[in-house]
Amino acid sequence: MLNLNRVGYGAMQLAGPGVYGPPADPDNAKAVLRRAVELGVDHLDTSDFYGPHVVNQLIKEALHPYPENLVIVTKIGFLRTPDKAWVPAHEPRQLRDAVHDNLRNLGLDRLQVVNLRLDPAEGPRERDIEREFTALAELREQGLVEHLGLSNATRAQLDQARAIAPVVCVQNMFNIADRRDSELVDHTAEEGIAYVPFFPLGGFGPLQHAALAEVAARHGATERQVALAWLLQRSPNVLLIPGTSSVRHLEENLLARELRLSDQDLTQLDTSG
């Protein structure tokens, strides 16, 4: 399993509206990245299709040369078009090009972790992934990629990928209000694979859960902090990548590392929705 601090940072929100184009305030975006590292974040989640290219370039401008302990996790498998659409790009040539784009824009000779993003955010769907994951495994053998992961994957796809090359992480949608992936969380824990929930705080819409406010009030915490703490206590293999474009929200999110929910809290959160 990846040996990382359990709360990282997801950089998607550093791009402009719709995850497209530059942010209104690039200096603020870079300040968020620098503050994350100052506060002990040792893994960033990004992609060259955020922007496109914008977020990786901001990361390079803010943090290069990178701290020795910083792991940059990127994902490939989609392209952005001028109308801001997300277009699948799973042909081996497209995957190779995407790896080289990430290397160039991040200023790296080797990508530490590359997740193969399989399908749009509405959820995984069963299909064969041998051809595309084999292409990534070849890039790993060439030394351009150190570790491989999957994003928006099913259990069957994880099994298929692991028959081709080692998989160190799975990045799927999972949060206190959307627990459809619970079985995969448990399976990855048993197999020593990190599980990285994207949209841990609800994504593009606010997280809705009846008990969050009451539990947060008991702890003098925010609902966001409780939602993150619940994920940390859900399984020891969970790594978090909450994203924000605000230094204040970043600092609040990272305080979830110190919040310990009681058995009463967990029971209440697990029995009300």
The SS3 of residue 194 is: strand
Q: Which pair of tokens denotes residue 4?
A: 């990382």
Amino acid at 273: G
The SS3 of residue 97 is: helix
Q: Which pair of tokens denotes residue 263?
A: 């058995």
User: Would you say 176 and 231 are in contact if contact means Cβ atoms under 8 Å apart?
Assistant: yes
Q: Which residues, including other chains, have CB under 8 Å from residue 68's CB and lie 6 or more apart?
A: none
Measured between alpha carbons, how far is 2 from 72 in angstroms, rounded to an integer?
12
Cα angle: 163, vertex 165, 167; to 5 degrees: 100
Residues with catalytic roles: 50
Strands 194-195 and 111-117, bridge-based pairing: unpaired
Measured between alpha carbons, how far is 240 from 254 in angstroms, rounded to an integer?
10
To which H or E segment does residue 195 belong? Answer: strand 194-195
Quickly tell me which residue has 């959820």 as its tokens. 123
Measured between alpha carbons, how far is 232 from 4 in angstroms, rounded to an integer?
13
If one counts every other C-beta atom within 10 angstroms of the C-beta of residue 134, the result is 13
DSSP string of 20-64, one letter each residue: BS--S-HHHHHHHHHHHHHTT--EEEEETTTBTTHHHHHHHHHHP
